[in-house]
Structures are given as structure tokens and as C-alpha cells.
Amino acid sequence: MQKRYLFTPGPTPVPPEVLAAMAEPMVHHRGEDFRTVYETCLTRLRAVFRTESDVLLFAASGTGAMESAVANLCGPGERVAVVTAGAFGERWAAICAHHGLDTHRIAYEWGEVPSPDEIGSALAESGASILFCTQSETSTGVVADVQAIKAAAGEATVVVDAVSSLGAVPLETDAWGIDVVVSGSQKALMCPPGLAMASVAPPLWERLPASRSFYFDWRRTKQAQEAFDAAFTPAVSLIRGLNVAMGMLLDAGLDAAFERHVRLGRAARAGLKAMGLELFSPDDDTAAVVTAARVPEGVDGGALLRRLRDRHGVTLAPGQGALKGKIFRIGHIGWFDVFDIAVALAAVELSLTELGAELERGVAVSRAFEAYEARVPA
């Protein structure tokens, strides 16, 4: 018997209230029982997205919402621009290429922070009228300034992947004028994987080409949601869970969640640095979602993660792509507190020591608590 700790940047831990809601007996999705939950859930989603627009809800992982954006916004062979700075920017590019679009990359090294001004000029030069970008690039820990990216993008339609950031860091969909935001259930929304969302700004509806997806046809979903009667059999249990999770998030206040994530990021960075590790993700408060550190010289990154999981029950995330084996990532997203950070740090310290790394021992956890306790300036 081994206790398991899930500290990956998705899926993330799910509160017991949410698990309990998902365990309720099944009801039919065309009856009043479900309609009430569906209506509340869609209203809460708008509050979490900070928008008055429709938020379309699909049974899919986050990538489903990303693909829905490509399939509904872009005409055949259209030129589009994509910001790439990690695995999920690459995912946008791959989806666009798969749909036969003329995909223009605005490329950054993995780990670089995209510059809104550069993106603005590159977008203008590309002639594209749709820009796909990522708010929290989960593979590197970088959180991009999507407010400034939208401001630099002129008249272009800006589509933001907020799969790992929605509910963790501020995203003012309406106030910042973000045209489309996509997200998923299994990160800061504190639910299991399986639900994907897309908010769509009203002016877009008149301009949409015919959807190239049947299941992800935005018009069909919007029409169905307006009657609180899902287009297809909805993921009833997951929607019940999401409804409860968003109720918890909104009752505590989104701003409180944003502050907590900043403080968790501070705690993770302070602890990793205290044991002598080098950060890969930025060493500042923007990095409030995922903290990535370099695996120390002489240690096998794969062996570190296996030892953490198999011997100590702690699941962290590896590096992706070319960063595999070179970094490890701690997700501190959603239903997460400073004691979780303490467990993650203590387990990293112990595992690295077991693997022969020279570390400063016994200081990481106390530094993490000190950093957590420092108040976030208003």
C-alpha cells in the first residue's frame, strides 16, 4: 500500500466534493435534473472565463477545443500565424497543418518568453488574420502576456490556449478583447480530464466559415446550449463535477486563486533554489502555474522521475521534446496548497540524494514556507 501524490501540470488533484458529485446516480440528459446542472455550469463557466459570451462545452480533452477553433475559424487553406515556444505552441501548428492551413510560425526557443511587440510585427508581415497562441506553455513554465499580445495583434482574431492557465492566472477574456479562449477540465478547474471549452466573442459568429467538423461544429453547439439541451449526449458526470468545482472556485473568488498560485510558484522556486538546483522556468511571479528545474549534472532525469513515483509515490512531470531527461516539472495548479509543495520538494531532495547528487539538505521546505508566507503586493 502506497500513498500517491499527483503533482503534474494535468491531470491535477480533484477535491472530494467534486468526486462525490461525479459519483451520483445517472440521470437522463434530456430531463430537468440535468438541465438545471447544465444551465448553472454554463453560467459559472462564463464567470470563470470572465466573459459575457457563450462558452461552448465539449466532451473532449483540451486538444479537442483547440481543434474546434481551427475547424470553425479558418477557411480552406487560409494563412494563419502561430506562436511556438514549446510543446503546446507546436500543437497549434500541428493542428493547423493537419487542416491544410498555410501555417506561418512565429517561433521562439523552448523556455523563451514570447515578445508581444515582435509577435505584432511578425503577424503584420505574415498577412495572417488569425493568430494562435498559448497563455501558459505547460512544457516550459512560461506564462505569456496575452493581454499585450492581443493589443499588438491589431485587427487579427486572437485565439488563446488557456488549458493550463484558466483559473490559475488572470485571463480577462472580455476586458482584454480576446476573441477565443480554449481550456480543459483537468488543470486549474480541479476536475478529471474529459471536458473542453471554447469561449467565442460575439462578432465572430457572423464571420465563421462553414465548420469543417461535425462534432465540434460551434454553431450547432451554441444553438443547443441556448436551449440547455446538449447537441450530443453530454458527459453528465463530468459536468456535475465541473459545476461543483467551479462553484468552489467562484465562492472562494478567482482573485484568491490567482494570488494562491503566485505564492505557490514562489514557494516552489525558493525551495528548489535552496537545495541548489537551477530553475528552467522564469524566476519571477509570472511563473505561477508550473515550475521547471534542470536535472543536476550526473543524474539521469528519467531515473529521478521513476524513483519519485515508484519509491516515494510522488508523480512529477518530465521534460517534453528535446527537454526530456534535462528538466523536471512540478505543476501547482488547482486544488493545491503549500503542503503539497513541501511534499514535492522533500521528495525531490530525498530522491536526488539517493541518486548521488550533492545537495543542500534540510532547507528547501522552510525556504518554501517563508516564500509562501510573503504577501503578494496588491
159 in Cβ contact with 69 (< 8 Å): yes
Q: Is 105 helix (H, G, I), strand (E, B) or coil?
A: strand
Residues across the chain: 378
| Shortest Å, Cβ 64 to ligand PMP | 7
β-partners of residue 6 are 315
Q: 324 or 361: whose CB is closer to ligand PMP?
A: 324
| Shortest Å, Cβ 290 to ligand PMP | 8
| Shortest Å, Cβ 288 to ligand PMP | 14
β-partners of residue 59 are 195
Q: 235 or 274: whose CB is closer to ligand PMP?
A: 235
H-type helices in the chain, by residue range?
A: 16-22, 32-49, 62-73, 87-98, 116-126, 146-152, 218-226, 236-252, 254-274, 301-312, 338-354, 364-373
| Shortest Å, Cβ 58 to ligand PMP | 11
| Shortest Å, Cβ 61 to ligand PMP | 3
Q: 164 or 199: whose CB is closer to ligand PMP?
A: 164
Please provide residue 370's backbone torsions phi and psi, each rounded to the nearest 5 degrees.
Answer: -60, -45
| Shortest Å, Cβ 182 to ligand PMP | 8
Q: 70 or 368: whose CB is closer to ligand PMP?
A: 70
Tell me which DSSP letter residue 5 carries: E
142: left (phi over 0), alpha (psi -120 to 50) or beta: beta
Q: 51 or 138: whose CB is closer to ligand PMP?
A: 138
| Shortest Å, Cβ 1 to ligand PMP | 30
Spatial distance between the Cα atoms of 142 and 258, rounded to a whole number of angstroms: 16
The four Cα atoms 343, 344, 350, 353 give a dihedral, to 10 degrees, of -160
Q: 78 or 161: whose CB is closer to ligand PMP?
A: 161
| Shortest Å, Cβ 155 to ligand PMP | 25
Q: 14 or 368: whose CB is closer to ligand PMP?
A: 14
Sign of CA dihedral 129, 134, 139, 141: positive
Residues forming the site for ligand PMP (CB under 6 A) = 10, 61-63, 88, 91, 134, 136, 138, 161, 163-164, 184, 193
| Shortest Å, Cβ 284 to ligand PMP | 19
Chain residue whose CB lies nearest ligand PMP: 62
Q: 10 or 265: whose CB is closer to ligand PMP?
A: 10
Spatial distance between the Cα atoms of 323 and 117, rounded to a whole number of angstroms: 27
DSSP 228-295: T--SS---HHHHHHHHHHHHHHHHH-HHHHHHHHHHHHHHHHHHHHHTTPPBSS-SSTT--SEEEEEP
Q: Nearest-5° angle of CA 25, CA 27, CA 31?
A: 155
Q: 12 or 243: whose CB is closer to ligand PMP?
A: 12
